[in-house]
Amino acid sequence: MQQPSLRRRRSPSLPPSSPPRDSSPPPAIQDELFLQAFGGAKGLSDDCITEVGGRLKAAHYTPDAISEISLPFERLQELTELPEGEVYALRKFSREWRGKIDAKRVRRKHL
């Protein structure tokens, strides 16, 4: 398999006059928004995110599974074909993502 393209892309910036966004409902854990957010944060190309997303989806890996310590790092690297540093960043990002999703669910539950 061919390694995903890691070409950096520019992330669009919001104009300074944009009003702050209201909190939206949390996306499903397996939602593609996770990988889009990761790609945006790391400046990865859309092609790279599409390829990695397809591999993770085919193996039924969601952010909660990616963040599991019991998932061998080597397996995640083999599956995604990302460089070592990006795999560590993906795992860290998935833990942070899960924390944000869980916090949103708690807030919504108490509203």
pLDDT in tens, the chain (111 residues): 566 666 555 445 444 555 445 555 554 544 578 999 999 999 999 999 999 999 999 999 988 899 898 999 999 999 999 999 999 999 999 999 888 877 777 777 777
| Residue 84 domain boundaries | 33-109
The domain tally of the chain equals 1
Asked if the structure places residue 1 within a domain, the reply is no
Asked if the structure places residue 19 within a domain, the reply is no
Alpha-carbon distance of 93 to 14, in angstroms, equals 22
Asked if the structure places residue 62 within a domain, the reply is yes
Asked if the structure places residue 11 within a domain, the reply is no
pTM of the model: 0.67
Asked if the structure places residue 3 within a domain, the reply is no
Asked if the structure places residue 23 within a domain, the reply is no
Closest by CA position to 86, among listed 2, 1, 27, 5: 5
